[in-house]
Structure 1
Amino acid sequence: MYDTLLVPTDGSEAALDAAKHGFSLGERYDATVHVLAVVEQSESAAIVGQGDAKLESLREHGTEATQKIVTEAFSRDVDAVGAVEVGNPDRTILEYADSHSVDMIVMSTHGRSGVGRFLLGSVTERVIRNGEIPVLAIQR
């Protein structure tokens, strides 16, 4: 049923909680879990004047976040792959899912509610609204 799962991460505990649900599905369906960190394009555009050091720092943070989850997957005997991309988070997640034939996205909602959620929107909500791939949204 599920051969390929995608777990987006920002390095937060909420993302790690969502990944645990991804591991469970990976174990059950013998699926590969792809772990994706997205360096926001707006952040990378803002750092142009600061040089490549800031962009590299953001990429390193993304690499550390994905590696933490990949290592946890391996400890549970789940196949996992990590990646770091630069771009708009929701679009990049959906493009990655499409290009890697992902069967389901498992991601955290970060538990935002009220005005903050209304004003800022949610990456998870935009992925659900704009994608055609099933999304398991884990509320923390």
Structure 2
Amino acid sequence: MNIQSIVIALDESDFSPRIASRGFELAVFFNATVELLLVRNNTAIINASLANTSIENDDTMERQMSNIRQVTQKYHLVEHSTTILNGDPQEQIIQFMTHSNADLLIAGTHGRTGIDHLISGSIAEYIIRHSTIPVLVIPYNHETH
């Protein structure tokens, strides 16, 4: 398998820097470029607003970007770029991938099961079914060593 370009799909969770680190490790191994793709979930923001609860705000987003910058600084020799999109993550990721020349897509999964999975669905599962390139799914609860 010849991997020259990797897309790492991230969300606004605290586990995203771990997923990014794993993706950069693979990029180093394959001498590949990286496109970080962060999708802000507008649906979750709207639902939280309607329920009168809070969700990731701009401060959280800035903290998240700071954590991601730490990862990119660690792997500063890897050629990379970052794209931030708003919308439904599964749709945005697949749409982005249709215009990408990437050889591998890396995404994380929360590993929800039961009713939680039924209600929120699985973005990773959707991506796997609709991707035209190989997808590596890393569980968010995976401990890095």
TM-score, structure 2 as length reference: 0.74
Judging by fraction of residues, say which structure has more helix: 1
Name the CA shift for 1:129/1:45 in 2 (closer, same or farther; >3 Å): same
Matched, 1:32 2:41: no
| Equivalent residues of 1:9, 1:37 under 8 A apart | yes
Name the CA shift for 1:12/1:44 in 2 (closer, same or farther; >3 Å): closer
Alignment of 1:1-140 (within 5 A): 1-42=2-43, 62=61, 65-66=64-65, 68-76=67-75, 77-139=77-139, 140=141
Structure 1 stretches of at least 4 aligned residues deviating more than 6 Å after TM superposition? none
**Paired letter, 2:114:** G
Structure 1 CA distance, aligned partners of 2:69 and 2:102? 17
TM-score, structure 1 as length reference: 0.77
Structure 2 CA distance, aligned partners of 1:67 and 1:9? 14
Give the superposition deviation at 1:61.
Answer: 5.3
SS in 2 for 1:126: helix
Give the superposition deviation at 1:119.
Answer: 2.5
Give the share of equivalent positions with the same residue, in percent. Answer: 25
Name the CA shift for 1:66/1:128 in 2 (closer, same or farther; >3 Å): farther
Structure 2 CA distance, aligned partners of 1:90 and 1:132? 14
**Paired letter, 1:74:** Q
Structure 2 CA distance, aligned partners of 1:84 and 1:95? 13
Unaligned runs of 5+ in 1: 47-56
**Paired letter, 2:137:** A
**Paired letter, 1:14:** F
Q: Which residue of 1 aligns with 2:52?
A: none
SS in 2 for 1:13: coil
Question: What is the number of residues matched between the two proteins?
Answer: 130
| Equivalent residues of 1:67, 1:82 under 8 A apart | no
| Equivalent residues of 1:37, 1:62 under 8 A apart | no
Structure 1 CA distance, aligned partners of 2:61 and 2:79? 19
| Equivalent residues of 1:94, 1:127 under 8 A apart | yes
**Paired letter, 2:74:** S
**Paired letter, 1:4:** S
Q: Which residue of 2 aligns with 1:51?
A: none
Name the CA shift for 1:10/1:80 in 2 (closer, same or farther; >3 Å): same
